[in-house]
Structure 1
Amino acid sequence: MKSLTPLPAKPSYLERYILIRDKKHKKTRAPLTLAHALIEARYKAYALAVKQDDLVSLKANDDTLKISDLLRACYDVATQPLKDMKKAIKEIQPKRQLKYCPMCGTTLPKTFDHYMPAVRFPEFAVHPHNLVPCCSRCNSTKDDDWLNTKGERQYFHAYADTIPDVQFVEVALVENPVTKRVGAKFNLQRPAGLKDHKWRLIDSHFSRLKLIELYDEHGNDEVAEILADCFTHLESGGGNARTFLTGRASDRTRTYGRNHWVVVLLTALSQHPNLDQWIQNQ
């Protein structure tokens, strides 16, 4: 897991909204133009909340809710400026980072999640910082449920949150003595010194999206593919398999972070005493 790169401040996020707004039909555009000062104030409030790491302080606004349908139409009915902005969000990310959904790390991010739910915060429907590329599974699971009953955030904000650069996803590798297949069992482990609120967010994000179960579901097949790659590497005259896996893990860590489930698998396999035997069993 690794944070995403937000769009630069120029053109400003408000200017991007204006470009989208002004492409709407007059029936939608005119009342939104009249509400410009309100939207500008809300964009400033969002920027301040992000700066202060206090998104939960943002409350739904009665005045924007009155024009919710008009604001949400800016997103629901695509215009060229909106398409351009979505494209820009994806293109500014480092190469390969969006090979995986930034929320789960398992599949392609083919949709966008409104981190601040559009049903309560329609003024941020086309706010670049509020549009997170993700997969449909994560999008539908998170839905509008961004806070728990205590008013705490339940999911990482892919732009605003810095993922702690410490290990918290771990895996145990176990060989089935009958089939000779190697299985993977993931778990979360709280690192020493990690602050309570950071850990609660990590634990909640993984729990709500059922990520450990998802990694367990994919883990066995991924182990088999990694071992097959090692076998091919050695058969073609490649060097030490542990060095090969360590290199792949380092490369993926730079792109996806140390806690990406495939990185965790690569690292665990490279360090396991039975690696050579497992490769020969392929």
Structure 2
Amino acid sequence: MKAAQFSRFGGPEVLEIVNLPEPHAGPGEVRVRVRAAGVNASDWKKRSGQMDEGLPQTLGYEAAGVVDEIGDGVEGTRLGDAVVGMGGGGAAQAEYAVLSTWVPIPDSLDFVGAAALPSTVETAARALDQLGVARDVTILINGASGSIGSAAVQFAVARGARVIGTASPATHDYLRSLGAEPVAYGEGMVERVRAIAPEGVDSALDVAGSGVLPELIDLAGGAENVVTIADVAGARQYGVHFSSGGDGRADYAIALATRLIDEGRFRIPVGKTFPLDDIAEAHRAGESNVVRGKLVLTVG
């Protein structure tokens, strides 16, 4: 099968489309013929050598496709079902992927829109869980207009929380449409937040990694009330929890997101799609931040 791989660390130019043996579904798993696969910041961090050491490496943990193989013990899923999920063994950006967690794709979503969901919504829900976000609390989300930030805003609103989101002024109308109260990031952000929340906030989530953890700690009343998914060094320096998949996954978020989408209460915009063969261009677009919205590879 065709799959994305790199055999040396470096820029997007090290990415290749290679032929690998097809994977097979194990117990409790399904294999899908991939139609679309999500692209995430972790992909170019891996490719540049920031995360793992082993070579060669394949890419991708989320995919949408059609079930063509079912492992032992799986019930409620049939061959030919359209599903979206996570797994892939780090090789979901390929013609076939094995999923360990999956849900049916609702009629309101196509394969591309479905592939934009798993990693984004799992990350957002996990961070909100760690912060204990619930009804009648106020959360500040730093970097609220990106894919993960948008998901966190919508999940928090669905929980009944008040959401304040930092983002560039050009995205403020978008954030309002999601149910957030937008404020501009940059110098004076703390004062702008306090203008609408004089006593500060109950918790803060840093999605952007823009070096504002001290300000978030101040607004949230302590490092224990702040979670970051983007600032590893800052988390160590200031005693803030860095959320990662090793903390325990919020896999329920995929089914929740598809249900809310069907109800018209959730959306993750797809910024741009690329054929699998153009994976290097997808990485360039992601690293340069020239595309707003989720990047998705189309396969087949």
Relative to the length of structure 1, the TM-score reads 0.24
Q: Which has the larger radius of gyration?
A: 1
Larger strand percent = 2
Return the TM-score normalized by structure 2: 0.23
